[in-house]
Amino acid sequence: MASYTLEGSTGTWEIVCGLEVHAQVTSKSKLFSGASAEYGAEPNSHVSLVDAAFPGMLPVINHECVAQAVRTGLGLNAQINLWSRFDRKNYFYADLPQGYQISQFAHPIIGEGVVDVVLSDGSVKQIGITRLHLEQDAGKSLHDQDPTKSFIDLNRSGVALMEIVSEPDIRSPEEAGAYLTKLRQIVRYLGTCDGNMDEGSMRADVNVSVRKAGEEFRTRCEIKNVNSIRFVMLAVDAEAKRQIAIWEDGGEVVQETRLFDVSKMETRSMRSKEDAHDYRYFPDPDLLPLILEQAWVDELKSHLPELPDAKVARFQSQYGLSPYDARILTGEQITADFYEQVAGSRDAKKAANFIMGDYFAALNKNGWNIESSPITIAQIIDLLDLQDKQVINGRIAKEVWEANVAAYAEVDRETWAQVSFSPSQYVDEKGLKQVLDTGAIDAAVDAVLAANADKVAAFKGGQEKLFGFFVGQVMKAMAGKGNPALVNEALKAKLS
Partner 1 sequence: MFDLSLKDARDALRAKKFSSRELTSAYLGAVEQLNPTLNAYITTTPDLALQHADAADKALASGDARALTGIPLAIKDLFCTKGVRTTAASKILSPFVPPYESTVTANLLADGAVFLGKANLDEFAMGSSNMTSAFGGVTNPWQRQGSDAKLVPGGSSGGSAAAVAARIALGATATDTGGSIRQPASFCGIAGIKPTYGRCSRWGVVAFASSLDQAGPVARTVEDCAILLGSMAGFDDKDSTSANMPVPDFAAACARGVKGLRIGVPKEYRMEGLDPVIDKLWQQGLDWLRDAGAEIVDISLPHTKYGLATYYIVAPAEASSNLARYDGVRYGARSPGRDLIEMYENTRADGFGAEVKRRIMIGTYVLSAGYYDAYYLKAQKVRALILKDFTDAFGRVDAILTPTAPSAAFGQGEKMDDPVTMYLNDVFTVPVNMAGLPGLSLPAGLDHQGLPLGLQVIGRPFDEETVFAVGQALEKAAGFTALPTLRAGV
Partner 2 sequence: MSLDPAAVRRIARLARLRVNDAEVAALQTDLNSILGWIDQLNEVDVTGVEPLTGGTSIALRQREDVVTVPDLTEDVLSNAPDRDGPFYTVPKVVE
334-344 in b/e form (b: 16+ CB < 10 A) is ebbebbbebbe
Give the one entry of partner 1, partner 2, none that residue 281 binds, where binding means its C-beta sits below a cut-off of 5 to 8 angstroms depending on kind: partner 1
Instruction: Report helix, strand or coil for 60.
Output: coil
Give the one entry of partner 2, partner 1, none that residue 58 binds, where binding means its C-beta sits below a cut-off of 5 to 8 angstroms depending on kind: partner 1
Give the one entry of partner 2, partner 1, none that residue 474 binds, where binding means its C-beta sits below a cut-off of 5 to 8 angstroms depending on kind: none
Give the one entry of partner 1, partner 2, none that residue 65 binds, where binding means its C-beta sits below a cut-off of 5 to 8 angstroms depending on kind: partner 2
Nearest Cα neighbor of 233 from 223, 246, 243 is 223
Task: Rule CB under 8 A: choose which of 34, 251, 357, 472 binds partner 2.
Answer: 34
Instruction: For residue 360, state whether it binds partner 1 (rule: CB under 8 A).
Output: no
> Whole-number minimum distance, CB 183 to partner 2, in Å?
23
Give the one entry of partner 1, partner 2, none that residue 56 binds, where binding means its C-beta sits below a cut-off of 5 to 8 angstroms depending on kind: partner 1
What span, in angstroms and rounded, lies between the C-alpha atoms of 382 and 427? Answer: 11
Instruction: For residue 150, state whether it binds partner 1 (rule: CB under 8 A).
Output: yes
Instruction: For residue 151, state whether it binds partner 2 (rule: CB under 8 A).
Output: yes
Q: Are 51 and 33 in contact, with CB atoms under 8 Å apart?
A: yes
Give the one entry of partner 1, partner 2, none that residue 142 binds, where binding means its C-beta sits below a cut-off of 5 to 8 angstroms depending on kind: partner 2
> Whole-number minimum distance, CB 96 to partner 1, in Å?
9
Residue 449 backbone class (left: φ over 0; alpha: ψ -120 to 50; beta: rest):
alpha
> Whole-number minimum distance, CB 280 to partner 1, in Å?
4
Q: Are 160 and 201 in contact, with CB atoms under 8 Å apart?
A: no
Instruction: Report helix, strand or coil for 234.
Output: helix
Closer CB to partner 2, 266 or 442, in the complex: 266
Task: Rule CB under 8 A: choose which of 9, 120, 148, 272 binds partner 2.
Answer: 148
Question: 93-132: which residues touch partner 2 (CB under 8 A)?
Answer: 93-94
Instruction: For residue 287, state whether it binds partner 1 (rule: CB under 8 A).
Output: yes
Instruction: Report helix, strand or coil for 22.
Output: strand
DSSP string, 236-269: HHHHHHHHHHHHHTT--PPP-EEEEETTTTEEEE
Question: Which class for 25: exposed (0-12), middle (13-18), buried (19 or more C-beta within 10 A)?
Answer: buried
Closer CB to partner 1, 279 or 469, in the complex: 279
Instruction: For residue 54, state whether it binds partner 1 (rule: CB under 8 A).
Output: yes
> Whole-number minimum distance, CB 91 to partner 2, in Å?
9
Task: Rule CB under 8 A: choose which of 7, 40, 42, 56 binds partner 1.
Answer: 56
Closer CB to partner 1, 191 or 283, in the complex: 283
Nearest Cα neighbor of 12 from 267, 214, 265, 221 is 214
Instruction: For residue 280, state whether it binds partner 1 (rule: CB under 8 A).
Output: yes
Q: Are 204 and 23 in contact, with CB atoms under 8 Å apart?
A: no
Residue 199 carries which DSSP code? G
Task: Rule CB under 8 A: choose which of 46, 88, 184, 188 binds partner 1.
Answer: 88
Which of these segments, 2-10, 234-242, 275-283, 366-374, binds partner 1 (CB under 8 A)? 275-283
* Enclosing H/E stretch for 299: helix 294-302
30-46 in b/e form (b: 16+ CB < 10 A) is bbbbebbbeeeeeeeeb
What span, in angstroms and rounded, lies between the C-alpha atoms of 183 and 336? Answer: 17
Task: Rule CB under 8 A: choose which of 18, 59, 73, 480 binds partner 1.
Answer: 59
Nearest Cα neighbor of 77 from 309, 244, 351 is 309
Interface contacts to partner 2, rule CB under 8 A: 27-29, 33-36, 42-49, 52, 60-66, 92-94, 141-143, 145-146, 148-154, 271, 274-275, 278, 280, 283, 285, 287-291
Interface contacts to partner 1, rule CB under 8 A: 49, 52-61, 88, 90, 92, 94, 97-100, 150, 152, 277-278, 280-282, 285-288
